[in-house]
Structure 1
Amino acid sequence: MPRCVMVDMEPIVVDEVRTGTYRQLFREKLISGKEYANSFARGHHTIAKEIVDLVLDSIRKPADNGTGLQGFSVYNACGSGTGSGLSCLTIERLYVDYGKKSNISFTVWCCPLVATAVVERYNSVLCVHSLREHTDVTIMYCNEALFSFCRRHLDIERPKDTKVNRPNVQFNSSLSASLRFDGALNVDLTESQTYLVPYTRLHFILTSYAPVISVEKPCLDSRFRNTNEFELDMRVLR
């Protein structure tokens, strides 16, 4: 059974969840800071120091109470200070405390066309070192490709964030299906990374997904049947 801890240095976003419709689902697993980190330096070296121990304690409790811990999955966007700085600091600490457990990162990369801050490019570059050294697998996405994916394959002319997040969630759910359901071909985290990663440092995985069917066109035709995940327009990274 997966366990989740959600963290954001900016309190406004987390407070919306705390007071929203699904507030009873998360309880103490929602952690927020006091201010927006903005840059990798602030998110990794200054503001993060105040909150990282609380984050690790929240992770450690379910990890120690469980009997079959396989590893950790970190979902982050490397354009922000929290997603780059705090996430990398947390990954580094998990690597030290649980060195033999798998660390898998699902990372949304910065894209110039949809970037909202100048520092996003710098945050992404500075984030790479920790992901390379302290994760076993890094699954890569980018917002530009996700928006394009929704327009091309889901027939959404102007996709909003919620529409973009849904295929992203579907990708992640498919990757972890063998962990959550019984089956003859199921593999654990260690086995899956063995199949995906040829060399230890070459663990940045390109993501694609097929077939994809729009709600407006629910019937399968020959075009969908002949679509495969290796086609360029099925990728969610540019």
Structure 2
Amino acid sequence: MRECISVHIGQAGVQIGNSCWELYCLEHGIQPDGQMPSDKTVGSGDDSFNTFFSETGSGKHVPRAVFVDLEPTVVDEVRNGTYRQLFHPEQLLTGKEDAANNYARGHYTIGKASQQLYT
């Protein structure tokens, strides 16, 4: 079986990723809390959703994805949105402040400090 891991970086990446996972859930019949109704799993034979989701011991389907942004506001929309129960908190990584669209600030100061936290 093949597995696909999605990495969503920055404001645009996180917003597109959030919409993308909402669509994946709708396409595969997975509810916003990660549960799949039992009638979909029994005898359907279609396990293509396992490419994008991993199943926990309790039957919850968790996206194979990571959301990263230096500024927490956009990732907080995912944390507090309709699909907040879908994601594990360790998949949602944020810094404390934005780089203010300044490459040098993001690369050499704020981004470097955040990178050290997550490696």
Bin for the TM-score computed over the shorter chain: 0.3 to 0.5
TM-score where L is the length of structure 1: 0.22
* Larger relative contact order, structure 1 or 2 (CA cutoff 8 Å, min sep 6): 2
When normalised by structure 2's length, the TM-score is 0.42
Larger C-alpha radius of gyration, 1 or 2?
1
